[in-house]
Structure 1
């Protein structure tokens, strides 16, 4: 079994950062709307953009959790499409990769 502890650590640090950022976005989304209707329109537009950012953050968090689970169960580094190995360089460049470079093209 290949040792991916270094990549697991990178993934955990990235997830911690993303969770912190997602919490900050959610805090911003919880703020009450301004009494002024024009300010409300601006707040609602900002909230829509923040919700999109939150969705992207949450998707990456889910991908990282899945990668960490693959590391734990020994399937990390195996292509989900062809079953072949995912090159170490690819995993270092994109630790959440689920497919080898040939299948990803």
Structure 2
């Protein structure tokens, strides 16, 4: 079974653009002037922690997308990087940047 790598490349590049836009908004929010009121500062600090976690998750996903794009360029996209078997099309549809088949992702 052949994989439509052009379709997946488009999906991955679109998601990458979305993540870069989100990370830019997060950076803007984290860099804004803080409220001088101490009660508001506590709430802002909690919000900043959430934003930082979202930013980290976004950066990790971007790394995975970049690796998937590199696999497309090498012609190995859709093949598990651990065991070498084909990745199930349903898994790729759900997680296009996955480097692992279902078994390897589950640690089997």
**Common fold: TM-score over 0.5:** yes
Matches within 5 A, 1:1-105: 3-105=4-106
Deviation at 1:87, TM superposition (A): 2.5
Following TM superposition, the consecutive aligned residue runs of length 4 or more in structure 1 with deviations greater than 3 angstroms are none
Q: C-alpha distance in 1, partners of 2:38/2:4? A: 57
Q: C-alpha distance in 1, partners of 2:77/2:56? A: 25
Unaligned runs of 5+ in 1: none
Equivalent residues, number: 105
Unaligned runs of 5+ in 2: none
Q: C-alpha distance in 1, partners of 2:46/2:100? A: 37
Deviation at 1:103, TM superposition (A): 2.1
TM (normalized to structure 2)? 0.87
